[in-house]
Structure 1
Amino acid sequence: MVNQKNKRKVYVVGHKNPDTDSICSAIAYAALKTKMTGIKHEARRAGLVNEETQYVLKRFGVKAPTLLSDLRTQVKDVDIRELEGLQGSISIKSAWEQMKQINLNTLPITRNNKLEGLITVGDIATSYMNVYDSAILCKARTQYRNIASTIDGEIISGNPHGYLLDGKVVMATSSPVGMKEFIKENDLVILGNREESHLCAIELNVSCMVICQNTEISELIKRLAEERQIVIIKTPHDSFTTSRLINQSIPVKYFMTKEGIFSFSMNDYVDDVKDVMAKKKFRDFPILDSKGNFQGFISRRRLLNVRKKQVILVDHNEKNQAVDGIDEAEVLEIIDHHRLSSIETIGPVFFRNQPVGCTATIISQIYHENGIEIDETTAALLCSAIVSDTLMFRSPTCTPLDEETAKELAAAAGVDIEELALEMFNAGSNLRGKSAEEICFLDFKQFRVGDKNVGVGQVNSMNADELKEIKKTVEPYLENAARSHSLEMIFFMLTNIITESTELLCFGPSAKEEMLLAYDLPLDSEEVVLKGVVSRKKQLVPTLVVALQQ
């Protein structure tokens, strides 16, 4: 099996409700870090990909990152006890010897990698102490080669792959006359060195003769046994030792535990595993992969050495915007262009925050600083992110560095910025068939302001009529959105890229009044229209924070 440590990776992920910058920056930075470190860095997304970003990824032939919904530690983050499964046909003795060899009290019984059962020390003790049935070897369909191996014997005649299917185990200590009274056809008979007893056993048509103390077997006995297809096993042990050992040849599947097995998958969360373990007395629990294949065992002790997921955050440093379970993860880096907020880390991290219009601008700088060429596809993604976040350089968050970087990337990617922007914004504002919930949370961020949880969503469009239709759909839904996400206030920006203005939809106690006051608008205004306001990050959120804190 592959060692878990060799599969360690670092996730690069943006915020929930990801936009084009969040997705494209994660993809580009994961590729850069993999080249720089040789360690696998994998881009992930923390939510649904919006229409604009889908257009960008499809246009440049890039697959959307896999969803990362929770950063809590999982079973796959634990060094499980990796183990090959045993076949159900191996003997109790072989299982016991393996237990001693690897110092484990439980072994998995598998078939084609699928878990059939578990054999434990307790099961083996039961086979020794609580079995008084002389016919148990046939009931358990014990193979002759198992019997020979268990008693350190050698098969002299007969089919070693055959099974004892009928009869009981008998020790022939009496004379041939006495043997005929208790030995029946198909029995397995343990014999000494008397040839007359061997002949009697053949005459009674037993299925197997176990001859003790390495007694030489005559050619006559061998020939007669072959004619009747009787298995002969020669063992160096005396009859007492042989009779004591022979039950250990029973296949483990006969005594293994098949019912009431508690197993976990590689994707189960450690917290949930601990809850189950606390209620059960078992020492080891089997682990299965997504296809149900046995992977190994996990124990309480191994949970003490759980490895936290390693993650790099891009385009956010707000806890409310981060993937669930961020508190349990090891944050290695944060690359962002927003205000400093509430992400807390256990130790020091590399934190790069610049007052630019887009995270992709910072990622491009890091490529250049490390002398790594940006390939055509990555250049196209980063250029698209800058165009999106700066509204093609119209946003007040846009800096000369953003515009200069976007133009360099466009040249490297061979794209026309104006044509790209038009196609992106048209794709992003094409919301036909989407529900009010889907539209509301396409580009949505949550903030903690004082003692209030506040949400701000935004839709950008170049079409005023389209924004009116979106307003009709979204405005009645805001109350449900606030309730479902435990928000005191929600603000939704309907941003017209052409007129560079925003109509702000407000929900919550005094939400509209706060915004009218903040922007010095008449308190009797039916609509909150903010001229020149297109940026959530630089124009709306700072004003909102100041207003609510006052």
Structure 2
Amino acid sequence: MKAKVLVVGHKNPDTDSICSAIAYADLKNKISDEEYIPKRAGEISGETKFVLNRFQVEEPEFIGDVGTQVKDIDMRKTEGVQSCISLKKAWTLMKDVNVATLPITNQDRLEGLISVKDIATANMDIYDNRILASSLTNYRNILETLDGSLVAGNGDGVVSKGKIVIAAANPDIMESYIEDGDLVILGNRYESQLCAIEMNAGCIIVCMGAPISITIQKLAKEKGCRIISTPHDTYTVARLINQSTPIHYFMRSENLVTFETDDYTRDIKGVMAKVRHRDFPVLDVYGKYCGMISRRSLLDVKQKKIILVDHNERSQSVDGLEDAEIMEIIDHHRLGSLETISPVFFRNQPVGCTATIIFQMYGENKVKIEPNIAGLLCAAIITDTLMFRSPTCTEEDRKAAEVLAQIAGIEIKPFAEELFQAGSNFKDKSIEEIIYQDFKQFFINGVSFGVGQSTFMNAIELQEVKSRLLAHFQSAEKHKLDMMFIMLTNIIDESTELLYHGNGAQEIAENAMEVEAKNGALHLKGVVSRKKQLLPSLMAILQQ
């Protein structure tokens, strides 16, 4: 099987993050033997949905955590056994496959577990001579355990009454203790066999392979008594017969500690440490048994392989990144806080959009860009550069967009108007959706803060959203972050209303932008870029 590599952008993804993940996965699949799968780390915006629908590309599946999971472990595929098999057979299976625990299943559903310890305990603790009847032991189990052959009677059915008796005494004494349905272990003495059958024994077990007369066989059939012949001596039979008991009588079926394939290894480690079982069964999301794992299994977990696009900040990445193997990073932002265990391919260029870098990589690898992928990359460049108005926009971005538009069969200006209109439809969006649709988190000098940005095609809609957000901030409880800044950017006017929330946020914003706040916001003329115009100023103040 091909190794799978996940290509994923940042949390609260924008159009560039989603489209670049899809396009880069497409490129890598054409130049590599591994399988590259685009993923998303958050909900996509209306703008991005418009782009995906426009170019008929499926939305990437959501992945909220890339930590190692139980399904990433090489679990032992111990076959499940039926609950009716004998203790002896279970013990033999354990030795044959070298395991300490057997799963008991019924149509792939886990019914219970039995371990070497359980079998050892059963052998040491069985003093009840009615154990076969109590456990409804199948006669097939007895035959198998004793290496016996059925001489008379039906091999099907179960022991439903009676006790286990060794006929060591003479027939006169036997008559006083043999009861209805007993299993009588005896030798070749004709009178003892006859007495047991006459006393309505359920089964007689003749040891040492002794011959059984036609008369005894006939009488047994008439009285409904089974006859089993075994090559073992009386001592061996007496020792083995309890091992014919079905394992369902001793298996653990309540309060089982099981894991699901989607469970994260960081969560199950604590459970394994507290519960000192040697093996733990694994179930899939439908409750079907999949295999067994142990504490030792955690030593060889296959980490998920990840490529990060459009970010290199730890706080912006999908959860569980510390347990994943980062293969590559493709980005156009400042160098962030991300660290890797081993060297990775890292490409970071001062352009306005990650999609521009990926466009260049298609050319460098001489790979043809399909029209739908070209449409995604062009849309990403248009949105990230605000149709070339952003100060982050470079000549490379503009040239890339023009080539991509030609491949995709679109005209940039009318397409951009549709694109921005789709992204600025805020009437049906909740406050949370507006804040977090394109939101990034940062940590500077022990201060956590986030910056979100929404773009608008007209001032009226911008003011409506601004009023809603200000009302929300006035009544909202403290967020997890120390401070929050929201950019409401007017694309046509090339200006931004900067809203702030949190202790000290107003002072930081005013000092950073050198503009006085009025009515809960800063009006920033000519400011449209979070990356190049707002973030550097905020960070400079916070680092002082």
The answer, yes or no, to whether TM exceeds 0.5 is yes
- Normalising by structure 1, we get a TM-score of 0.92
Structure 1 Cα separation of the partners of residues 52 and 516 of structure 2: 43
Structure 1 residue 18 corresponds to structure 2 residue 13: yes
- Contact 2:478 2:502 survives alignment (8 Å): no
Q: Which moved more, 1:494-503 or 1:410-419?
A: 410-419
Match of 1:536 among 524, 527, 530: 530
Secondary structure in 1 matching 2:461? helix
Runs of 5+ consecutive residues of structure 2 not aligned to the other structure: none
Structure 1 Cα separation of the partners of residues 382 and 350 of structure 2: 16
Amino acid aligned to 2:234: S
Match of 1:507 among 483, 488, 501: 501
Q: CA deviation at 1:479?
A: 6.4
Structure 1 residue 170 corresponds to structure 2 residue 160: no
- Normalising by structure 2, we get a TM-score of 0.93
- Going from structure 1 to structure 2, the CA distance change for 1:510 and 1:235 (only over 3 Å counts) comes to closer
Secondary structure in 1 matching 2:478? helix
- Going from structure 1 to structure 2, the CA distance change for 1:231 and 1:373 (only over 3 Å counts) comes to farther
Secondary structure in 1 matching 2:423? helix
Q: Which moved more, 1:397-406 or 1:110-119?
A: 397-406
Quote the residue 2:37 is aligned against: 42
Secondary structure in 2 matching 1:81? coil
Quote the residue 1:390 is aligned against: 385
Structure 2 Cα separation of the partners of residues 400 and 482 of structure 1: 44
Q: CA deviation at 1:177?
A: 4.0
- Going from structure 1 to structure 2, the CA distance change for 1:522 and 1:235 (only over 3 Å counts) comes to closer
Match of 1:334 among 329, 332, 347: 329
- Going from structure 1 to structure 2, the CA distance change for 1:521 and 1:259 (only over 3 Å counts) comes to closer
- Contact 1:437 1:481 survives alignment (8 Å): no
Q: CA deviation at 1:458?
A: 0.7
Amino acid aligned to 1:549: Q
- Contact 2:443 2:449 survives alignment (8 Å): yes
Runs of 5+ consecutive residues of structure 1 not aligned to the other structure: 1-5
Match of 2:204 among 206, 209, 222: 209
- Going from structure 1 to structure 2, the CA distance change for 1:131 and 1:431 (only over 3 Å counts) comes to same
- Going from structure 1 to structure 2, the CA distance change for 1:482 and 1:309 (only over 3 Å counts) comes to farther
Q: CA deviation at 1:119?
A: 1.0
- Contact 1:493 1:503 survives alignment (8 Å): yes
Q: CA deviation at 1:480?
A: 7.3
Structure 1 Cα separation of the partners of residues 475 and 305 of structure 2: 35
Q: CA deviation at 1:265?
A: 2.0
Quote the residue 1:247 is aligned against: 242
Aligned residues: 544
Q: Which moved more, 1:31-40 or 1:158-167?
A: 31-40
Structure 1 Cα separation of the partners of residues 60 and 219 of structure 2: 72
Structure 1 residue 285 corresponds to structure 2 residue 262: no
Q: CA deviation at 1:316?
A: 0.1
- Going from structure 1 to structure 2, the CA distance change for 1:82 and 1:484 (only over 3 Å counts) comes to farther
Secondary structure in 2 matching 1:82? coil
Q: Which moved more, 1:317-326 or 1:156-165?
A: 156-165
Could you list the per-position Cα deviations for residues 319-350 of structure 1 after superposition, in whole angstroms to 9, with x for gaps in the alignment?
11112232332211100011111111111110
Q: CA deviation at 1:107?
A: 1.7
Structure 1 residue 97 corresponds to structure 2 residue 92: yes
Amino acid aligned to 1:212: C
- Contact 2:374 2:404 survives alignment (8 Å): yes
Structure 1 residue 496 corresponds to structure 2 residue 490: yes
Structure 2 Cα separation of the partners of residues 160 and 25 of structure 1: 69
Aligned ranges 1:132-531 → 2 under 5 Å: 132-478=127-473, 483-487=478-482, 489-509=483-503, 511-521=505-515, 527-531=521-525
Quote the residue 1:3 is aligned against: none
Amino acid aligned to 2:14: D
Q: Which moved more, 1:533-542 or 1:15-24?
A: 533-542
Q: Which moved more, 1:170-179 or 1:421-430?
A: 170-179
Q: CA deviation at 1:12?
A: 1.4
User: What is the aligned-residue identity percentage?
Assistant: 54
Amino acid aligned to 1:254: Y
Structure 2 Cα separation of the partners of residues 349 and 455 of structure 1: 27
- Contact 1:491 1:506 survives alignment (8 Å): yes
Q: CA deviation at 1:543?
A: 2.8
Structure 2 Cα separation of the partners of residues 523 and 100 of structure 1: 77
Structure 2 Cα separation of the partners of residues 420 and 235 of structure 1: 88
Secondary structure in 2 matching 1:483? coil
Q: CA deviation at 1:236?
A: 0.6
Q: CA deviation at 1:11?
A: 1.9
Q: CA deviation at 1:410?
A: 2.9
Q: CA deviation at 1:166?
A: 1.7
Amino acid aligned to 2:17: S
- Going from structure 1 to structure 2, the CA distance change for 1:44 and 1:196 (only over 3 Å counts) comes to same
Q: Which moved more, 1:343-352 or 1:186-195?
A: 186-195
Secondary structure in 1 matching 2:248? helix
Structure 2 Cα separation of the partners of residues 250 and 39 of structure 1: 51
Structure 2 Cα separation of the partners of residues 149 and 274 of structure 1: 41
Structure 2 Cα separation of the partners of residues 97 and 281 of structure 1: 24
- Going from structure 1 to structure 2, the CA distance change for 1:135 and 1:543 (only over 3 Å counts) comes to same
Secondary structure in 2 matching 1:484? coil
Structure 1 Cα separation of the partners of residues 513 and 282 of structure 2: 58
Q: CA deviation at 1:110?
A: 1.6
Amino acid aligned to 1:70: D
Secondary structure in 2 matching 1:331? strand
Quote the residue 1:74 is aligned against: 69
Amino acid aligned to 2:395: P
Q: Which moved more, 1:330-339 or 1:220-229?
A: 220-229
- Contact 1:501 1:531 survives alignment (8 Å): yes
Structure 2 Cα separation of the partners of residues 201 and 102 of structure 1: 41
- Contact 2:444 2:539 survives alignment (8 Å): yes
Could you list the per-position Cα deviations for residues 138-188 of structure 1 after superposition, in whole angstroms to 9, with x for gaps in the alignment?
111111111111111122343333211222222223344443322222222
Q: CA deviation at 1:482?
A: 8.5
Secondary structure in 1 matching 2:235? helix
Q: Which moved more, 1:228-237 or 1:104-113?
A: 228-237
- Contact 1:478 1:490 survives alignment (8 Å): no
Structure 1 Cα separation of the partners of residues 183 and 470 of structure 2: 85
Amino acid aligned to 1:305: D
Structure 1 Cα separation of the partners of residues 214 and 375 of structure 2: 86
- Going from structure 1 to structure 2, the CA distance change for 1:375 and 1:219 (only over 3 Å counts) comes to farther
Structure 2 Cα separation of the partners of residues 296 and 499 of structure 1: 61
Structure 2 Cα separation of the partners of residues 62 and 224 of structure 1: 81
Structure 2 Cα separation of the partners of residues 189 and 441 of structure 1: 78
Instruction: Indicate the RMSD between aligned Cα atoms, in angstroms.
Output: 2.5
